[in-house]
Amino acid sequence: ATMPPLLAAVAVSGRRGTLVKDVTVLEALAEVDTVVLDKTGTLTSGRPQVVSVTPLGSRRADELLALAGAAEAGSEHVLGRAVRAHALERGLHLPHAEGFTAVPGEGVRAVVGGRAVAVGRPELAGDVEVPGVAALQEAGRTAVVVLVDGEPAGVVGLSDEPRPGAATALAALRREVGGDPQVLTGDAERPARVLADRLGLTRVRAGLLPDDKVEVVRAEQARGRRVLAAGDGINDAPLLASADVGLVVSEGAGALSLEAADGVLTRDPLGSLAPLVVLARRARRIAR
Name the one range near Mg ion by CB under 5 A: 40-48, 87-95, 149-157, 268-276. Answer: 40-48
Residue span 95-114 as binding mask against ligand ADP, x where in contact by CB under 6 A, dash where not: ----------xxxx------
At its nearest, how many Å lie between Mg ion and the CB of residue 235?
Answer: 6
DSSP string, 230-262: EEETTT-HHHHHHSSEEEEE--TTS----TT-S
Residue span 58-97 as binding mask against ligand ADP, x where in contact by CB under 6 A, dash where not: --------------x--x-x-xx-----------------
The one of Mg ion, ligand ADP, none whose footprint includes residue 107, by CB under 5 to 8 A per kind, is: ligand ADP
CA dihedral of 179, 226, 9, 269, whole degrees rounded to 10: 60
The one of Mg ion, ligand ADP, none whose footprint includes residue 120, by CB under 5 to 8 A per kind, is: ligand ADP
| Residues 45-54 as b or e (16 or more Cβ within 10 Å = b) | bbebebebbb
Query: Which residues ranging from 179 to 238 are in contact with Mg ion (CB under 5 A)?
Result: 232
Task: Answer yes or no: are the C-beta atoms of 270 and 32 closer than 8 Å.
Answer: no
Task: Answer yes or no: are the C-beta atoms of 113 and 97 closer than 8 Å.
Answer: no
3-state secondary structure of 70: helix
Which DSSP state fits 231? E
Residues 6+ away with beta carbon under 8 Å from 212: 205
Catalytic residue among 33, 38, 62, 268: 38
273 makes contact with ligand ADP (CB under 6 A): no
* Separation between Cα atoms, residue 204 and residue 196, nearest integer Å: 7
182 makes contact with ligand ADP (CB under 6 A): no
Residue 232 or 244 having the CB closest to Mg ion? 232
3-state secondary structure of 235: coil
Task: Answer yes or no: are the C-beta atoms of 94 and 71 closer than 8 Å.
Answer: no
* Separation between Cα atoms, residue 56 and residue 241, nearest integer Å: 40
38 makes contact with Mg ion (CB under 5 A): yes
Residue span 7-46 as binding mask against ligand ADP, x where in contact by CB under 6 A, dash where not: -------------------------------xxxx-----
**Under rule CB under 6 A, how many of the chain's residues touch ligand ADP?**
22
Residue 34's CB is within 10 A of a number of other CB atoms, namely: 22
At its nearest, how many Å lie between ligand ADP and the CB of residue 175?
Answer: 25
* Separation between Cα atoms, residue 45 and residue 164, nearest integer Å: 8
Is 38 labeled as catalytic in the residue annotation?
A: yes
142 makes contact with ligand ADP (CB under 6 A): yes
- Length in residues, the chain: 288
235 makes contact with ligand ADP (CB under 6 A): yes
Interface contacts to ligand ADP, rule CB under 6 A: 38-41, 72, 75, 77, 79-80, 105-108, 119-121, 142, 144, 185-187, 235
Interface contacts to Mg ion, rule CB under 5 A: 38, 40-41, 232
Query: Catalytic residue positions?
Result: 38
